[in-house]
Amino acid sequence: MQSPIYPQSDPVSEHPHIRTFHARHGRMSARREQSLILLLPKFEITNLERPVDLAKVLDKDFIVVDFGSGMGTHALQLAQSDPSVGVLAIDVHTVGLIAVVDTATELGLSNIRTHHGDGMDVLKDWMTPASVNEIHVLFPDPWPKARHHKRRLITPLFLDLVVNALKPDGRMVFVTDDESYFESAVTIIASCGNFDVTFSDWEIPITTYHQRAIRLGHKISQLSARKTNA
């Protein structure tokens, strides 16, 4: 069976940012291929009329974007634990999003949607401005080599898009086990001037990357950047 083809954005015309990820596809089992073809399109926001207002699409007042959802552990926990919350799981990892839609279908979750692709496109002009309550960025690629720091997600451009997407008093939560990245993010967010930053005020979910960080003995740092009225 052939995989469904989703519209691909032109990275030059859509937004002048450097890709912060490696697209990951890999070989898939027949079962996963079936889910990719039959289930994922049912959850995708790709073909919805834009701008997308997730509160209306999901009929929920509180919307959380899991930006870089990986295998979907956190997004699924959010959707399952609180039916009043609407969740958007964004990732380029095909197998991870298949895990999301498989579990969501099995559990009958109607309050979760996905985007299989670059989340910058979604934040830039796909969504209704000021329509998201929280954006969770958990353990993004730290790009530890100095020459690769330009590929890190937390940049002034990304923060401008976050500010535009968040509701008044909405927040972005950022978690990393890379101390250099955390220090850089704190500096960049402070210079943005659109957030009040607090630390260690959020219970970090135990995702695969969190477990790995604990196993390796890494220091885990977090911040909450709440949108101000400035």
Q: Is residue 34 part of a domain?
A: no
Distance separating the N- and C-terminal Cα atoms of the chain: 52
Residues of the chain with pLDDT under 50: 1-16, 18, 20-23
| Contacts of 197-206 spanning 24+ positions with Cβ under 8 A | 197/223, 197/224, 197/225, 197/226, 198/223, 198/224, 198/226, 199/223, 199/224, 202/173, 204/138, 204/175, 205/73, 205/74, 205/77, 205/138, 206/73
Catalytic residue numbers, as ranges: 141
Radius of gyration of the chain (CA): 17
Cβ atoms within 10 Å, residue 80: 16
Query: What does the pLDDT read at residue 1?
Result: 39
Q: Residue 174 in 3-state DSSP?
A: strand
89 falls within a domain: yes
Domain contains 21: no
Give residue 61's pLDDT. 95
Neighbours of 154 (CB within 10 A): 24
* pLDDT value for 27: 66
Q: What is the pLDDT of residues 91-144, one digit of tens each?
A: 998 999 999 999 999 999 999 999 999 999 999 989 999 999 999 999 999 999
Number of domains making up the chain: 1
The answer to the question of residue 16 being in a domain is no
Q: Supply the pLDDT for residue 201.
A: 83
CATH of the domain at 189: 3.40.50.150
Asked if residue 8 belongs to a domain, the reply is no
Structure tokens at 65: 């974007």
Find the domain containing 181 and state its range: 50-227
Q: Would 1 be classed as within a structural domain?
A: no
pTM given for the model = 0.87
In-domain check, residue 175: yes
Task: Specify whether the CB–CB gap between 126 and 50 falls below 8 A.
Answer: yes
In a domain, 138, yes or no: yes
